[in-house]
Structure 1
Amino acid sequence: MGKAQERTRRQILSAFLELLSEKPYNMISVSEISEASFITRSTFYRYFDDKKSLLMAEIEDTVQKRVPDQPLLVQFVEYVEDYWPVLRNLTPSRQSRSDLHEILNQVLWELINRRVANGSQNDPVIAFIQRSRNRDIMIGAIEGMLMGILERYVIEGTEKINHRQLEAAIGEIDSLFQSKQY
């Protein structure tokens, strides 16, 4: 992609992120994104198939801006805190759960799976999954846990994650598995 095309792509992503910080995902149209990006609708469709593919690109871009060698849970907490204005307008509790819930779950699953495949050595959660004989199930369990945490914070209207509370909950989950009483 040339410089002009990359600039236009970034312009679309930036306008979408700005709109998303102001209102829910399902209330944003491709026409609004195009107008905010100073492009035509046909130009939008040269870069993205639809609003869903734009959302996926935005999430992947913002996640890649994070420091990749941080443990998954640390990165997740920082991501949620940094992008709270956007996430609160994406979370399924604010609109139809169907499509958006699936998108967020898919993104989380893919991010965790990538980390497992890349072999993040300094991450206890990823190391735990790598040792598992049922990686896909473990990835799904961690992804579900992170999604549940995100939904809980949205329901509570929390903008800052209580790190101690999260660590305590993770410790409790870990001790549940360590006791092997399941």
Structure 2
Amino acid sequence: MPTRKTDRRTQYTINIVKEAFLELINDHPYSQITVTQVCRQAEITRSTFYLHFNNLTDVLNVVLDDALMISKNSAESLPNISELSIDCLKQNESLLPTCQRIASATKYRALLMDPDLSEYIIGRIASHERSKMIPLIQQRTGLNSQDAETLFNYTLHGSFAINKRHHFIKDDEWYHEVELLNRFINAGYQSFKKN
């Protein structure tokens, strides 16, 4: 995305493009959305669009960055999740992995459910979380960084799959499954630490 001075008008335009994109993604898969559709939905010209974005992928990335900001204030350590109840998880969602926290914002659900974007979104989440999570997994397990990254990728893909199966809706069944999987993962971490 081109670097531009961010004044009110610029921020307004960027916001209406993001909103238009999210509205379109509710009705169409990403692969079928065009710049023309976004411009029409946002009620802007193509030239205005291209002042702020190089292409539709730029819009997707800015929207994903917004979604990832939900998890910006996440916990700085990996809690012992096996000791946490479902009620505790409901009250302190910063203990949940990123894609589970993103699910709190309903405006991102259609985007997260798009089958063409799953791997791309997982990749963006991984890029966002890797530098924080790998050292924390190493601390909890005593593993080297390569092995910790394997566990990180496994956990991220599994978390995303569970969320997608529930359409990123947090109901009682979802919380039960999250608690079960977190206990499983935590037991694995403890097993590595003992060895």
**TM-score under structure 2 normalisation?**
0.68
Q: Which one of the candidate residues 112, 115, 127 is aligned to 1:110?
A: 127
Equivalent position of 2:176 in the other structure:
164
Code of the aligned partner of 1:113: R
Instruction: Provide Cα deviations, 1:93-120, integer angstroms capped at 9, x if missing partner.
Output: x544xxx34421221112213545xxxx
How has the CA–CA distance of structure 1 residues 81 and 135 changed in structure 2, closer, same or farther, with 3 Å as cutoff? same
Higher relative contact order (CA 8 A, sep 6+): 2
Instruction: Provide Cα deviations, 1:147-177, integer angstroms capped at 9, x if missing partner.
Output: 3332344345562252232122121122134
Could you say which structure has the larger radius of gyration? 2
Q: 8 Å contact 1:66–1:75 — kept in the other structure?
A: yes
Q: Which one of the candidate residues 20, 24, 27 is aligned to 2:29?
A: 24
2:89 maps to 1:80: no
> Which deviates more from structure 2 when the two are superposed, residues 127-136 or residues 106-115?
127-136
Q: 8 Å contact 2:26–2:111 — kept in the other structure?
A: yes
How has the CA–CA distance of structure 1 residues 129 and 10 changed in structure 2, closer, same or farther, with 3 Å as cutoff? farther
**TM-score under structure 1 normalisation?**
0.72
Q: Which one of the candidate residues 164, 169, 179 is aligned to 1:154?
A: 164
Q: 8 Å contact 1:12–1:37 — kept in the other structure?
A: yes
Q: Give 1:39 deviation, angstroms.
A: 0.9
RMSD: 3.1
Q: Give 1:12 deviation, angstroms.
A: 0.6
Instruction: Provide Cα deviations, 1:44-87, integer angstroms capped at 9, x if missing partner.
Output: 1221121112111101023224561444625542321323x633
Aligned length: 168
Q: Could you tell me the percent identity over the aligned residues?
A: 21
How has the CA–CA distance of structure 1 residues 43 and 138 changed in structure 2, closer, same or farther, with 3 Å as cutoff? farther
Q: Which one of the candidate residues 181, 184, 188 is aligned to 1:176?
A: 188
- Runs of 4+ in structure 1 off by over 4 angstroms are 129-133
How has the CA–CA distance of structure 1 residues 130 and 107 changed in structure 2, closer, same or farther, with 3 Å as cutoff? farther
